[in-house]
Amino acid sequence: MIKVELLEYTPNPDKVVATAAKLCYSSKSVSELVESVNEDEDKTAAFVERLMSYGHMSPFEHLSFTFGIEGVSRTLTHQLVRHRIASYSQKSQRYVNEKEFEYITPPSIQANDEALGCYEAVMKMLNNAYGKLVDLGIPKEDARYVLPNACETKIIVTMNARSLFNFFNHRCCMRAQWEIRQMAYQMLKLVKEVAPETFKKAGASCDTLGYCVEGNMSCGRYPTLNDILTNFKSKGENKNV
C-alpha cells in the first residue's frame, strides 16, 4: 500500500511567496517587506492568489516540500524521476539485499484469479532466482538484473512548489498511470493541509484550466480545447447568418 509522508516543508509559505514577489517591484529592504507581509494575512493570501492568476510563478520556486514515499513499485519511480526539477534519494538495489522482496500487484491483476496465479508464480520464480544468484556469490548489483518492475521500493523526493504544480497537472490526470496517480493524490492532500492558499487550485490540468489538454485521448470529464474552439466558431457562424 502506498504511504506518503510530508517530512519537511517551507514554513509560512504564503508569506515567503509574497515577500519574494514584492521584492521584485519594491525599493524596501527585505526586513521591511517581511514586516509588511506579516501585517495582514488576508491581504497576503489574496496577493498569492493574484500571482497565480497572473502566471507569475518564479516566487513559488522558493517553497520546498520533501516527501517520504514507501510501498511503491519501480514502475512508478521510473515515471517519477522524469520530473527533472526535483531531488531524489532511492533505496539502492546495488547495496540492499532484495531476498524475499515485496512487490506491487496492479488492481487489474488482483481482480482476475487466473492472472493473479500467473503473476504470483512469476514473482516467486524471480525471488528464488535472485536468492540463488546471491547465494552463488553473484554481486547484488548483478543479481538485481532479474528483479521485476513490480519490486517494492522507497524514495525521498524534494520539489519546489512550481515543480509540484506541474507534477499535479500531469499525474492527477485520469490518464496518468493508476499507481502514480494514487501517490499524486496523497501528495496533493498533504501540501494542501500546510499551504492551502498556495495549492488552492492545484490538481489535474483540466481542473485548473477548465478544459482538457489531452485532445483525442481525453477521458471526457471536460471538453477539449478543440471542442471549445469549434463551439465558439460555430456560434460565430450562426451569429453571422
Q: What is the DSSP string of 177-193?
A: -HHHHHHHHHHHHHHHH
In the sheet that 64-73 helps form, which strands lie side by side, from edge to edge? 3-9, 64-73, 152-160, 87-90
Supply φ then ψ for residue 90, to 5 degrees.
Answer: -120, 150
The whole-angstrom separation of Cα 43 and Cα 173 is: 32
Other beta carbons within 10 angstroms of residue 44's beta carbon come to 21
Give strand ranges (E) for the chain. 3-9, 64-73, 87-90, 152-160
- List residues with catalytic annotation: 171
Helices and strands, counts by H and E, the chain? 11, 4
